[in-house]
A and B are shown apart, each in its own frame.
Chain A
Amino acid sequence: MSTTSPPAVGGARTRTSPAPAASRSPVGAAGAWLVKNPLVVLLVVMVAGVQLATGSQLAWGNLRGVLLDAAVIAIVAAPVGMLIISGYIDLSVGSTLALGGVVAGKVVQSGANPAVAVLAAVAAGAAIGVVNAVLTTVFGLSSFIVTLGMLTAVRGVAQLVTPLPLSNFGDAFGFLGIGNVAGVPVAVLVAVAVLVVAAVFLTRTPAGRHVYAIGVNREAAFLSGVDVRRIPFLLFVAAGATAGLAGAITVARLNSAPASQLGLGFELSVLTAVLLGGIALTGGEGSMFGVLVGVLFMGLLRNGLTLLGVPTFWQNVASGVALVAAVGIAAATQLARHRLQARDARRLDDATTAG
């Protein structure tokens, strides 16, 4: 666990509804933090349980595979999470991943430098992002409907680009998928970088805070002079670009690019991880730390079930139940939080209405 949780991301954690009153004791503050992040507790309990039962989940060989899978999801979940915080959604990332993958594959097979192939994948994804962005932020169409349509349309485009599956791209390109730097898979390093950049952006720049402002109250943001179109526009482009990048990574790892199979259901994995991580579908709430926890939880849950010998079908059942349960737990802790806040508010009243 300690190797999987980069301290930089944890440190730059977003605080959307900060713990009240500095006067609270450290124990109380820790309690309040856990109430806000119930999934962290579940994650620790789950990993400890699986580790005790099998003794193998925390072995590096196993963990490496889990992290590789999680990394591809995390790279896309970061911008998609930010889009949801700002009150939009992107369902098209699964097909955009496929398009990025086949574009990268085609460019590599034409004999170009692998770096060019990666850039081409990112550019293809960004182009899809621009289409989503224009339709939603400029023309004001529902992002749910636009990106649902794009999910189907872009899959078709990917299949048109490469009607026949491509494969065998060579070791240089394969490095992106399976290579290590300082013992850590390249994709994991990319994911860490994306999460850190996203977390720093969200917490340390005015534009990052505007993401929350737009998600909490778009009208108030507009009346505060916030550019309520530009920020979601750029986030759509970022979501497309990272999906393209994730496509290149996936193809490099598989060493093949089947246009009709790449990234099938990927958008739902991303959405599940983001929602598990406590980003509210209604916008305005959540953090990159939450996304990290959500992605790890999904990966480690599935891996734990495999290690425990649970059949695949049951793993699907468990993943679905986990999402619903996490939402239920989030609702319950939300209720607890509101009770705490109401109590605080009454204390504030007594202190203020006297004057």
Chain B
Amino acid sequence: MTVSIRGLTKRYGATLALDDVDLDLAAGEVHALLGHNGAGKSTVIKCLGGGTSPTAGTLTVHGTEHRALDPRSSIAAGIAVIYQHLSLIDRLTVTENLFLGQESTTAGVFVRRAEQRARALELLDRVGLTVSPDTPVGELTIGQRQLVEIAKALGRDARLLVLDEPSAALSPVEARRLAGLVGQLKDDGIAILYVTHLLNEVLELADRTTVMRDGRVVWSSPMAGVTKQDLVTAVSGRASAGAAAPAPVTAGADPVLDVRDLRAPGLPGVSLQVRPGEVVGLYGLVGSGRSRLLETLFGRRRATGGTVHVDGVPVRVATPDDALRAGLALVPGDRLQQGLFGSLSSAENTVMRVMSLLARTGWRRRGAERQVFASAAGAFGLRPADPSVAVARLSGGNQQKVLIARWVNDRAGTRVLLLDDPTQGVDVGARAEIYQVVRAVAAEHGIGVLFASNDPDEVVALAHRCLVMRRGEVVDELDMGATTEQTLLDLIHRDLEHTP
């Protein structure tokens, strides 16, 4: 066994990202790791690559037991992780990147260029890349860069290659070439951990598959005799978190959000409607344009055409401020980078926008601010409800509640709530609470909710209606009454197969 992981556990503050995970990776075997966003796949990768230290558990590499790895010891142990965001330096050449930090030198000072170049050619040949080793990496396509990364790993005699959703950014041709390379490396006796959420790739490439969900391994089996249906069942798993019958929508009401032919780079023209109190899911894989659509509606990206009406009133949105004035509010997908003021208190995070609305002749009314916070904290079950705690210290679920409360409170006047990946980094118990909050927002305030997700469970649990997105277009619309996560999974994977 090349690498064997036992009882791996990782806590981030209040969130349990990994819970007692076992995983065996053998030489000459492709082991696929499947699971939705937040299932814990990337935390496993980080533990292997030395990006983070596990809270408990062991990683045994070639018989040597480690309690934790750092990037250096991970490389020394023969582990190479190819992250989605590649770690090459654009302005250096292919050769320089291949030997970065491991330059072969004369007298420890002078780089032996000729020798490096010859070795680079060998490595490039091994991964089937035909570019000159003197090309700056910045001039290569994403697929070519990925091959350079793999060549770099081979140059370091990697025995375990970890590929994190390697085909996500590739063209179909590049993806085929990558699949061929994976098979060849397997034959060379390298262990491969292939992280993905595409079932077809798993069926084609994997010798063994492990499915993760909520930080735990829920299914693991050799692939002989396993069908696609088995995988769908394993991934969608048990009854979804917090599923409850969504409240009925006032039928026939005029739409609170009416989008017609909205165009922007990557969005060839989207039309959709959301009625008051209705929760609509935008379902699609990464790159399908669901986040882009929300950001365009919110004025973070500029629209090039089309119309948007809120409550029947035409609105022009050039900045987030315009959108908020029109009653459109976005809870972004990247909470830490785009949503939270980490070192400021929960109360300030909540009232940052409405502070100005509450103010009188330019002065803050702190009593009114406290009231807005207290009533939102009560309504959404914020824990702790203490207004003075720095928001960075809250769990993911409670941070999300603060961000929703920023837009939905006694004073905000939000008519349409846009949520991008609403339970990203939120653990399973809290996920049900977020669903509860979103449903309450829609039902009690008559707000229209439009959320983007790539998790079919989430769409089933939350949406009244689902719009399926692919390549920036809404390609299907489903009433969620009779739809299950299996229908959605089948749909999206059928779509992928039809993609040339």
Contact = CB atoms under 8 A, between A and B. Distances in A.
A24 B388 CA distance: 13
A349 B389 CA distance: 13
B171 to A, nearest CB: 31
A349 B14 contact: yes
B344 to A, nearest CB: 6
B233 interface: no
B289 to A, nearest CB: 19
Interface string B388-400: 1110010100100
B128 interface: no
B183 interface: no
Contacts of A355: 383, 429
Contacts of B383: 348, 351-352, 355
B337 A206 contact: no
Interface in B378-393: 383-384, 386, 388-390, 393
Contacts of B390: 17, 341
Contacts of A244: none
A347 to B, nearest CB: 10
Interface string B1-40: 0000000000001100000000000000000000000000
Interface residues of A, number: 37
Contacts of A17: 343, 345, 390
B429 A18 contact: no
User: How many of chain B's residues touch chain A, expressed as a range?
Assistant: 35 or more
A212 B341 CA distance: 9
Contacts of B393: 341, 344-345, 348
A80 B398 CA distance: 35
A285 interface: yes
A206 B411 CA distance: 15
A209 interface: yes
Interface in A204-221: 204-206, 209-210, 212-213, 216-217, 219-221
A352 B344 CA distance: 21
A221 B355 CA distance: 13
A109 B332 CA distance: 60
A222 B355 CA distance: 15
A21 interface: yes
A348 B324 CA distance: 33
Interface in A186-227: 204-206, 209-210, 212-213, 216-217, 219-227
A205 B320 contact: no
B298 to A, nearest CB: 8
B359 interface: yes
Interface in A314-355: 341, 344-345, 348-349, 351-353, 355
A209 B352 CA distance: 8
A216 B332 contact: no
A285 B388 contact: no
B356 A216 contact: no
A15 B348 CA distance: 11
A151 interface: no
Contact of A206 (B339, B344, B359, B429): B359
B286 to A, nearest CB: 21
A19 interface: yes
A206 B13 contact: no
A54 interface: no
A219 B388 CA distance: 23
A51 to B, nearest CB: 37
B62 to A, nearest CB: 35
A284 interface: yes
A220 B321 contact: no
A227 B343 contact: no
Nearest to B295: A223
Contact of A352 (B14, B345, B363): B14
Contacts of A20: 386, 388-389
Of B300, B348, B352, most A-chain CB atoms within 10 Å: B352
Contacts of A344: 393
- The 4 A-B residue pairs whose C-beta atoms are closest, nearest first, are A225-B321, A18-B388, A206-B355, A216-B341
12 contacts: A15-B388, A20-B386, A209-B352, A212-B344, A216-B344, A220-B338, A220-B339, A223-B339, A226-B321, A284-B341, A341-B393, A351-B383
Given A21-B386, A224-B320, A349-B13, 11 more contacts: A206-B355, A213-B341, A216-B341, A216-B343, A216-B344, A220-B340, A223-B298, A223-B338, A227-B321, A345-B14, A349-B14
